[in-house]
Structure 1
Amino acid sequence: MKKIALLMALLAVGLCAESIEKKGFLTSKWCAQNGYFSDCRLESLVCGSGECFKSWEFGDKVTDELVLFVHNEQKIYAIDYSAIPRYKLDEPMNMNEVTISGEVRGDTIVASGFKAPPPPQKSFFKGCL
């Protein structure tokens, strides 16, 4: 009887966990809160704010709060990327149309994977300058 109750509890927890894919702008928490998307300062990815480089010293604790701003919901989701190596998220940083897959827990996405948009195509300008 205990095994059945335990199995039912695990099944209920499994059903509550919602596996999703959210697409939006991947950036730091400070940039998203202040509306800096294409103009996001890179130091905010290391020390947590825009002018923090003035007081941050090498060896200080890194404040790495990544978020996904979902345009159609106008909502910011914190990202728990413990299942993804951090260096892999450097490529899509401050890019639009990044897809994060995982589970939603409140306002946090527990990421299990991501898809970055392809890099822009090289263009060649023919014409008079």
Structure 2
Amino acid sequence: MTTTMARILRELSEQIVEQEQNKHNDCESQRPKNLITPLVSSLNKQANDEQISSSLIQTEIFDEVLMAITAGTETTSKALSWFMFYMSKHPRVQQRIKQDLKEHDLVMGDNAHSSSLSIETLESLVYYDCVT
């Protein structure tokens, strides 16, 4: 991996961890929705322990995020394959997800325009979140 790519991936993982830390501080009692939440929770707890270097823990978390970004391609393709298979077997669920996407203006129609996708929009897709 080139040094530029490594730097970009490191910066991306730092941004992801920082965003998750901000979310974690806002809502500690919620159930984790992703791989990063428990890692950040661990970082916050262990940073309070004087015997553990928080910079070492933070580096380990960045490495985990980097691994998830770079190694997740096959996992993602398999998850999408199973999702498509499930959708083909359950047309009512497929229709409900499509309705959820239409309500948030995320389905491209004849008039080729749609809302831009954001984290907030994704989090508002309640039915989709339940299925995935």
TM-score (norm 1): 0.22
Bigger helix fraction? 2
Q: Of the two structures, which has the highest relative contact order with CA contacts closer than 8 Å and spacing of 6 or more?
A: 1
Bigger share in strand: 1
**What is the TM-score when the length of structure 2 is the normalising length?**
0.21
